[in-house]
Amino acid sequence: EVQLVESGGGLVQPGGSLRLSCVASGFTFSNNYMDWVRQAPGKGLEWVGQIRNKAQGYTTEYAASVKGRFTISRDDSNNSLYLQMNSLRIEDTAVYYCGDMGAVIGNYWGQGTLVTVSS
Amino acid sequence: DIQMTQSPSSLSASVGDRVTITCRASQGIWSHLAWSQQKPGKAPERLISAASTLLSGVPSRFSGSGSGTEFTLTISSLQPEDFATYYCQQYNSFPYTFGQGTKLEIK
Protein backbone atom coordinates (compact mmCIF):
# COMPACT_ATOMS: atom_id res chain seq x y z
CA GLU A 1 0.00 0.00 0.00
CA VAL A 2 1.33 3.41 -1.00
CA GLN A 3 1.87 5.70 1.98
CA LEU A 4 3.17 9.24 1.98
CA VAL A 5 3.55 11.07 5.28
CA GLU A 6 4.36 14.76 5.36
CA SER A 7 5.76 16.64 8.33
CA GLY A 8 7.41 19.92 9.20
CA GLY A 9 4.50 22.30 8.89
CA GLY A 10 3.80 25.01 11.41
CA LEU A 11 3.56 28.72 12.06
CA VAL A 12 6.24 30.97 10.58
CA GLN A 13 6.57 34.71 10.21
CA PRO A 14 6.61 36.41 6.81
CA GLY A 15 10.12 36.29 5.39
CA GLY A 16 10.94 33.16 7.34
CA SER A 17 11.90 29.66 6.26
CA LEU A 18 10.53 26.18 6.75
CA ARG A 19 11.50 22.72 5.52
CA LEU A 20 8.85 20.13 4.84
CA SER A 21 9.55 16.41 4.67
CA CYS A 22 7.68 13.54 3.11
CA VAL A 23 8.47 9.90 3.83
CA ALA A 24 7.30 7.31 1.32
CA SER A 25 6.60 3.60 1.62
CA GLY A 26 4.83 0.88 -0.31
CA PHE A 27 6.43 1.59 -3.67
CA THR A 28 9.88 2.00 -5.24
CA PHE A 29 10.30 5.65 -4.34
CA SER A 30 13.55 6.07 -6.26
CA ASN A 31 11.80 5.36 -9.57
CA ASN A 32 9.11 7.99 -9.22
CA TYR A 33 9.06 11.64 -10.11
CA MET A 34 7.67 13.40 -7.03
CA ASP A 35 5.61 16.56 -6.67
CA TRP A 36 4.45 19.04 -4.09
CA VAL A 37 0.93 20.46 -4.31
CA ARG A 38 -0.68 22.99 -1.99
CA GLN A 39 -4.16 24.10 -1.05
CA ALA A 40 -4.84 27.45 0.59
CA PRO A 41 -7.67 27.47 3.14
CA GLY A 42 -11.00 27.09 1.37
CA LYS A 43 -9.37 27.17 -2.07
CA GLY A 44 -8.48 24.78 -4.85
CA LEU A 45 -5.31 22.84 -5.58
CA GLU A 46 -2.09 24.42 -6.85
CA TRP A 47 0.89 22.47 -8.14
CA VAL A 48 4.13 23.70 -6.53
CA GLY A 49 6.88 21.73 -8.21
CA GLN A 50 8.44 18.43 -9.19
CA ILE A 51 11.72 16.57 -8.85
CA ARG A 52 12.56 13.83 -11.30
CA ASN A 53 14.42 10.63 -10.52
CA LYS A 54 18.14 9.82 -10.64
CA ALA A 55 17.93 8.63 -14.24
CA GLN A 56 16.69 12.11 -15.16
CA GLY A 57 19.38 13.80 -13.12
CA TYR A 58 17.11 14.86 -10.24
CA THR A 59 16.06 17.85 -12.32
CA THR A 60 13.32 20.08 -10.99
CA GLU A 61 10.39 22.19 -12.19
CA TYR A 62 8.60 24.92 -10.22
CA ALA A 63 5.49 27.00 -10.37
CA ALA A 64 6.17 30.63 -11.15
CA SER A 65 4.72 31.64 -7.78
CA VAL A 66 7.47 29.82 -5.85
CA LYS A 67 10.41 29.77 -8.26
CA GLY A 68 13.54 31.17 -6.66
CA ARG A 69 12.10 30.80 -3.14
CA PHE A 70 11.32 27.09 -2.85
CA THR A 71 13.67 24.16 -3.48
CA ILE A 72 12.69 20.53 -3.86
CA SER A 73 15.17 17.77 -3.05
CA ARG A 74 15.08 14.06 -2.31
CA ASP A 75 17.03 11.35 -0.52
CA ASP A 76 16.33 8.05 -2.18
CA SER A 77 18.28 6.12 0.45
CA ASN A 78 15.69 7.23 3.01
CA ASN A 79 12.65 7.33 0.70
CA SER A 80 12.31 10.99 1.54
CA LEU A 81 11.23 14.10 -0.30
CA TYR A 82 11.82 17.65 0.91
CA LEU A 83 10.53 21.13 0.27
CA GLN A 84 12.74 23.98 1.48
CA MET A 85 10.67 27.14 1.63
CA ASN A 86 12.42 30.50 2.01
CA SER A 87 11.19 34.09 1.96
CA LEU A 88 7.74 32.90 2.93
CA ARG A 89 4.76 35.12 2.23
CA ILE A 90 1.29 35.24 3.76
CA GLU A 91 -0.07 33.83 0.50
CA ASP A 92 2.03 30.68 0.97
CA THR A 93 -0.31 29.68 3.80
CA ALA A 94 -1.72 26.32 2.77
CA VAL A 95 -1.84 22.60 3.35
CA TYR A 96 1.11 21.10 1.48
CA TYR A 97 0.79 17.64 -0.03
CA CYS A 98 3.50 15.44 -1.48
CA GLY A 99 2.75 12.89 -4.16
CA ASP A 100 3.17 11.79 -7.74
CA MET A 101 0.96 13.94 -9.91
CA GLY A 102 2.14 12.53 -13.21
CA ALA A 103 1.26 9.58 -15.36
CA VAL A 104 1.31 7.12 -12.49
CA ILE A 105 -1.58 4.67 -12.40
CA GLY A 106 -2.27 4.87 -8.72
CA ASN A 107 -3.22 7.16 -5.86
CA TYR A 108 -0.06 8.89 -4.65
CA TRP A 109 -1.33 11.67 -2.42
CA GLY A 110 0.01 12.25 1.08
CA GLN A 111 -2.17 13.44 3.94
CA GLY A 112 -0.79 16.95 4.03
CA THR A 113 0.90 19.30 6.46
CA LEU A 114 -0.33 22.81 7.29
CA VAL A 115 1.93 25.81 6.84
CA THR A 116 0.73 29.10 8.28
CA VAL A 117 2.59 32.29 7.46
CA SER A 118 1.56 35.05 9.82
CA SER A 119 3.02 37.72 12.06
CA ASP B 1 0.13 27.72 -18.94
CA ILE B 2 -2.71 25.32 -19.71
CA GLN B 3 -5.96 26.44 -18.11
CA MET B 4 -8.34 23.74 -16.92
CA THR B 5 -11.99 24.76 -16.67
CA GLN B 6 -14.51 22.55 -14.92
CA SER B 7 -18.25 22.79 -15.22
CA PRO B 8 -20.37 23.05 -13.30
CA SER B 9 -18.62 24.57 -10.27
CA SER B 10 -21.27 23.08 -8.04
CA LEU B 11 -23.98 20.51 -8.50
CA SER B 12 -26.88 19.31 -6.38
CA ALA B 13 -28.01 15.75 -6.96
CA SER B 14 -29.78 12.89 -5.27
CA VAL B 15 -28.66 9.39 -4.35
CA GLY B 16 -29.09 7.21 -7.42
CA ASP B 17 -28.71 10.07 -9.91
CA ARG B 18 -26.33 9.94 -12.86
CA VAL B 19 -24.02 12.95 -12.92
CA THR B 20 -21.43 14.21 -15.36
CA ILE B 21 -18.69 16.74 -14.74
CA THR B 22 -16.86 18.33 -17.67
CA CYS B 23 -13.27 19.52 -17.78
CA ARG B 24 -11.93 21.57 -20.69
CA ALA B 25 -8.27 22.27 -21.36
CA SER B 26 -7.17 25.50 -23.02
CA GLN B 27 -4.96 23.46 -25.36
CA GLY B 28 -4.63 19.82 -26.28
CA ILE B 29 -3.29 17.52 -23.57
CA TRP B 30 -3.74 14.13 -25.28
CA SER B 31 -5.05 11.86 -22.50
CA HIS B 32 -2.76 13.26 -19.82
CA LEU B 33 -5.55 13.95 -17.37
CA ALA B 34 -6.41 12.76 -13.88
CA TRP B 35 -9.54 13.06 -11.76
CA SER B 36 -9.32 13.27 -7.97
CA GLN B 37 -11.92 13.34 -5.22
CA GLN B 38 -11.60 15.35 -2.02
CA LYS B 39 -13.84 15.04 1.01
CA PRO B 40 -13.98 17.82 3.63
CA GLY B 41 -10.89 17.91 5.82
CA LYS B 42 -9.24 15.09 3.89
CA ALA B 43 -6.49 14.81 1.30
CA PRO B 44 -7.49 14.36 -2.33
CA GLU B 45 -7.51 10.84 -3.73
CA ARG B 46 -6.94 10.08 -7.39
CA LEU B 47 -9.76 8.13 -9.01
CA ILE B 48 -8.79 8.10 -12.68
CA SER B 49 -5.52 8.44 -14.59
CA ALA B 50 -4.91 8.76 -18.31
CA ALA B 51 -8.39 10.23 -18.75
CA SER B 52 -10.19 6.90 -18.51
CA THR B 53 -8.15 4.38 -16.46
CA LEU B 54 -10.02 3.62 -13.27
CA LEU B 55 -7.61 3.07 -10.39
CA SER B 56 -7.66 -0.11 -8.37
CA GLY B 57 -10.30 -0.05 -5.66
CA VAL B 58 -12.35 2.73 -7.23
CA PRO B 59 -16.00 1.69 -7.70
CA SER B 60 -17.06 0.92 -11.26
CA ARG B 61 -19.84 3.54 -11.10
CA PHE B 62 -17.05 6.07 -11.81
CA SER B 63 -15.87 6.45 -15.37
CA GLY B 64 -13.81 8.94 -17.34
CA SER B 65 -13.65 9.75 -21.02
CA GLY B 66 -12.22 12.22 -23.47
CA SER B 67 -8.96 13.28 -25.06
CA GLY B 68 -7.46 16.44 -26.46
CA THR B 69 -9.29 19.30 -24.83
CA GLU B 70 -12.59 17.92 -23.52
CA PHE B 71 -13.01 15.37 -20.76
CA THR B 72 -15.81 14.04 -18.60
CA LEU B 73 -16.16 12.29 -15.27
CA THR B 74 -19.40 10.35 -14.90
CA ILE B 75 -20.85 8.77 -11.79
CA SER B 76 -23.53 6.36 -12.96
CA SER B 77 -25.52 6.05 -9.72
CA LEU B 78 -24.62 8.42 -6.91
CA GLN B 79 -23.97 6.94 -3.50
CA PRO B 80 -23.92 8.88 -0.21
CA GLU B 81 -20.12 8.62 0.00
CA ASP B 82 -19.70 10.30 -3.42
CA PHE B 83 -20.69 13.74 -2.18
CA ALA B 84 -17.37 15.56 -2.34
CA THR B 85 -15.36 17.97 -4.47
CA TYR B 86 -13.87 16.69 -7.71
CA TYR B 87 -10.80 18.09 -9.46
CA CYS B 88 -9.37 17.46 -12.90
CA GLN B 89 -5.63 17.91 -13.42
CA GLN B 90 -3.44 17.92 -16.50
CA TYR B 91 0.04 16.45 -16.45
CA ASN B 92 0.84 17.03 -20.11
CA SER B 93 3.11 20.00 -19.56
CA PHE B 94 4.51 22.24 -16.84
CA PRO B 95 3.18 23.81 -14.81
CA TYR B 96 0.73 21.05 -14.00
CA THR B 97 -2.66 22.66 -13.49
CA PHE B 98 -5.91 21.78 -11.79
CA GLY B 99 -9.48 22.69 -12.54
CA GLN B 100 -11.17 24.92 -9.98
CA GLY B 101 -13.16 22.00 -8.60
CA THR B 102 -16.76 20.82 -8.76
CA LYS B 103 -18.58 20.55 -5.43
CA LEU B 104 -21.15 17.78 -5.53
CA GLU B 105 -23.84 18.29 -2.88
CA ILE B 106 -26.86 16.35 -1.76
CA LYS B 107 -30.17 17.67 -3.05
pLDDT digits (tens, 9 = 90+) for A28-79: 999 999 999 999 999 999 999 999 999 999 999 999 999 999 999 999 999 9
pLDDT in tens, B7-17: 999 999 999 99
**pLDDT class for B67, splitting at 50, 70, 90?**
very high
pLDDT exceeds cutoff 90 at A105: no
Provide, as residue numbers in chain A, all residues whose Cβ is less than 8 Å from the Cβ of B103.
none
Check residue B55 and report its DSSP letter: P
**pLDDT class for A108, splitting at 50, 70, 90?**
very high
Does residue A5 sit in helix, strand or coil?
A: strand
Which of B56, B58, B91 should be substituted to probe chain A, the one whose Cβ sees the most A Cβ atoms within 10 Å?
B91
Partner-chain residue, chosen from A35, A46, A107, that has the shortest CB–CB distance to B46:
A107
Partner-chain residue, chosen from B44, B45, B91, that has the shortest CB–CB distance to A45:
B44
What whole-number distance in Å separates Cα of residue B107 and Cα of residue B105? 6
User: With contact defined as beta carbons under 8 Å apart, do A89 and A49 qualify?
Assistant: no
Mean pLDDT value of segment B10-28: 97
Provide, as residue numbers in chain A, all residues whose Cβ is less than 8 Å from the Cβ of B97.
47
Helices and strands per DSSP (H, E), number in chain B: 0, 11
pLDDT exceeds cutoff 90 at B71: yes
Percent of chain A with pLDDT over 70: 100
pLDDT in tens, B72-93: 999 999 999 999 999 999 999 9
Collect all residues with Cβ–Cβ distance below 8 Å to B45 and sequence separation of at least 6. Answer: A107, A109, B36, B37, B38
Res A53: pLDDT: 97
Mean pLDDT value of segment A13-18: 98
Handedness of CA B68, B31, A37, B24 (dihedral sign): positive
Which of B9, B46, B53 should be substituted to probe chain A, the one whose Cβ sees the most A Cβ atoms within 10 Å?
B46
Torsion of CA B47, B49, B55, B59, to 10 degrees: 40
Q: What is the CA radius of gyration of chain A?
A: 14
